[in-house]
Chain A
């Protein structure tokens, strides 16, 4: 019985001190699983080079991360939220209601989104038009909107092989989906003229027309993947006709299984995305609670380290892993150094 007593009392002491000695000594980060690899690379290097402990980076998605970020101020809340999109006004409001008012927005760089298929299959050179014609619910045929009749890629574009259309695209909970809709499907919708026709039939309602454009067909041709890119890869390995949507970094780690398609004639690479030639990319962010700077040791140092040239610059480890370095990194560096909060000078 003495063992039980001993462990029970140790535990009781630990539980009591849990509330008292909670004084957290490492930075806590949560959010986007797209930013996770970059954040973990920085956290690891930070732990190696500074006297502070290695920050903890949790995944869970941009929205979940920002929700936790907006829970309030204090040591039991996270210090930084990673996001693969900009914070929404709704979230800023929710933050303010919980007392999180001063938020520092840090843009770390750009993430490329690529289309890739099985390495031994056909190669493709896509344009946004092709994707719109392949996946949209309704397309324009002879000037009229009809339910999408295309079955193979040859139906979409005569220069493509007659391979059945099978797309694995990120599910709606992913930030990547939004980019795919905006920069590919919507762009294709506008270019094929379907957008104008829908808008005209709607009585010039631009928002509704955009929404109609990005509604995808539901006959099984396009499959939403709610998991990670590893799941998309597994689907393509079992269905060789499949074409998936991946992050550039993921593709670069799996070049032995995947071949990447060009978009509007441009091969995706960190270079072509940095110059803006490759159209499908989006900025990545993290958000800092200003109130935690000075309270949580190492928070500001971590943020400054993250955007420093040796980390986020074009030759840094993040660029090596697949992040497209931000040409305006110097601006971000001064922003972090000055602790400029959202809405102060924008």
Chain B
């Protein structure tokens, strides 16, 4: 009651109404900020969770171990071990050997089954005969012996072990029957059929629509690698040379202004535009081969150049003029001052920009659609540098896109698995960029 008439003096202990209002608005702003970060983090967590739960399965695959007798009367009737004659037996001729392998398993383990031999082999991947044939052609002397092989199970069986396929879900499926799943259960109990880590998913080649279990990312990875090689070898020198000239040597006039604006604009051009350009210039006009990583690399170089130029110019600008002045004052030429002093100091920034540009290019799909890197392409592992650059290949993101389109749901799982591999690469590259910046960047 006593001080009711006196207006409240604002003190540090007793804030007045206006201060309270200002404090409240700050508190509100902080809360908004935390909500924004919270939403972002939740999204990231949901995304990571989805990717991991859907994709981890692709790294595991179901294998069946069989003792296969490489019958001489099927593979080499003459007994001459003539490779040309053995080659005449196509993969279709190897199917009876696998049926024999199943017969042996059933006899050895005492499994009771009413399945016909053909249906028993039906739980195997279609890649099994090819695997056998490759083995025999590599080493014809093994014909006549009984060898232990580990074959992939087909995608339905694999899905059954992973819980994607159930007895109910296959009611209308003509590719697998309930009896075959019973057989799978028995084989699993006998320890013949196992789920284990599958290195071929990371290192192998793409496979056709009929055998998703055999498809791998390896060849597409090599394709991406060769494209990045092209991007690095072209974009880095061109980008750095262009920005050194623009930043250190070129006169500041309207021409360089126009160039500068255009470089910034180029950085914002959608990547599909570069794809169309690549198709028109590199393939239709210059007649470079279709689907070749060289062309992909050239297109991605165009896309990455602006990123590299912008980051290089920023890091050149960050080198204080006193360094240049000191070098010039001691009698260095302009060129010496740039290459001996400015460039080494700007190098960490340039490298960071380059790595981030490469990471961007690595994840790019749109331009590759147009230069023919989508389809059943990544089937032959390249044998050398020139083959790697010139023979048709796919790239990691293009391969993921291709898998996501295919009919068998097993490919969908592989698409998610492919995303995990791609993310590992991207995260690694970005981490290297951060480490480089942390360790070598100098502040003045």
Residue of B nearest to A229 (CB): B407
Count class of interface residues, chain A: 35 or more
| Interchain CB contact under 8 A, A56 and B289 | no
Partner of B171, one of A250, A253, A255: A255
Query: Is the Cβ of B91 less than 8 Å from the Cβ of A56?
Result: no
Selected contact of A253 from candidates B92, B233, B287, B408, CB within 8 Å = B408
**Is B233 a contact partner of A60 (Cβ separation < 8 A)?**
no
Contact A41 B208 (CB under 8 A): yes
Chain A proximity mask over B206-240: 1 for CB below 8 Å, otherwise 0: 01111100000000000000000110111011000
Task: Kindly state whether residue A338 has any CB partner on chain B within 8 Å.
Answer: no
Q: How far is the CB of A10 from chain B (nearest CB, A)?
A: 7
A45 CA to B376 CA in the complex, in Å? 13
Beta-carbon contacts under 8 Å, A223-282 to B: 228-230, 249-250, 252-256, 259
Q: Are B172 and A255 in touch, CB under 8 angstroms? A: yes
Contact with A along B401-415 (1 / 0, CB 8 A): 000111111001000
CB within 8 Å of A: which B262-286 residues: 283
| Closest Cβ–Cβ distance, residue A168 to chain B (whole Å) | 16
Chain B residues within 8 Å of A44, by CB = 207-208, 211, 376, 379
**A51–B84 alpha-carbon span in the complex (Å):** 11
A254 and B407 contact, CB distance less than 8 A: yes
Q: How far is the CA of A37 from the CA of B375 in the complex (A)?
A: 9
Tell me if A28 and B290 are in contact (CB < 8 A). Answer: yes
Interface centre among B130, B134, B375, B385 (most CB of A within 10 A): B375
Does A40 count as interface, using CB distance less than 8 angstroms? Answer: yes
CB within 8 A of B170: which of A15, A250, A255?
A: A255
- Chain A residues lying within 8 Å of B174, measured Cβ to Cβ, are 252, 255
- Given A26-B380, A321-B210, A36 contacting B386 (CB threshold 8 A): no
Least distance between A167 CB and chain B CB atoms (Å):
20
Give A21 to B376 CA distance when docked, in angstroms. Answer: 24
A54 within 8 A of partner (CB): yes
Given the complex of chains A and B, what is the CA–CA distance between A43 and B207 in angstroms?
10
Which residues of the partner chain B approach A58 to less than 8 Å between Cβ atoms? 290-291, 372, 374-377
Whether A19 contacts B209 in the complex (CB less than 8 A), given A30-B372, A30-B375, A49-B91, comes out as no
With A and B bound together, what is the CA distance between A226 and B31 in angstroms? 44
Nearest to A231 among chain B residues (CB) is B405
Give Cα A66–Cα B333 distance, bound, in whole angstroms: 60
Query: In the complex the two chains form, what is the Cα distance from A45 to B173 in whole Å?
Result: 24
* C-alpha spacing A331/B393, complex, angstroms: 35
Against A, the Cβ 8 Å flags (1 = close, 0 = not) of B198-209 are 000000000111
CB-defined contacts of A256 to chain B, threshold 8 Å: 165, 169-170, 172-173
Q: Chain A: which residue is nearest B376 at the CB level? A: A40
Report which A residues bind B (CB closer than 8 A): 4, 7-8, 10-11, 14-15, 17-19, 21-22, 24, 26, 28, 30, 33, 36-37, 39-41, 43-45, 47-49, 51, 53-54, 56-60, 76, 78, 228-230, 249-250, 252-256, 259, 310, 317, 320-321
For the A-B complex with A37-B208, A250-B407, A256-B170 known, give 12 more contacts whose Cβ atoms are closer than 8 Å.
Answer: A4-B237, A10-B233, A11-B230, A18-B390, A37-B407, A49-B90, A76-B290, A78-B290, A249-B407, A252-B173, A252-B175, A320-B210
**22 sampled A-B residue pairs with Cβ under 8 A:** A4-B236, A8-B237, A11-B233, A14-B390, A18-B288, A18-B389, A24-B289, A37-B208, A37-B406, A37-B407, A40-B208, A44-B376, A45-B91, A48-B133, A58-B290, A60-B375, A230-B404, A230-B406, A253-B407, A253-B408, A255-B170, A256-B173
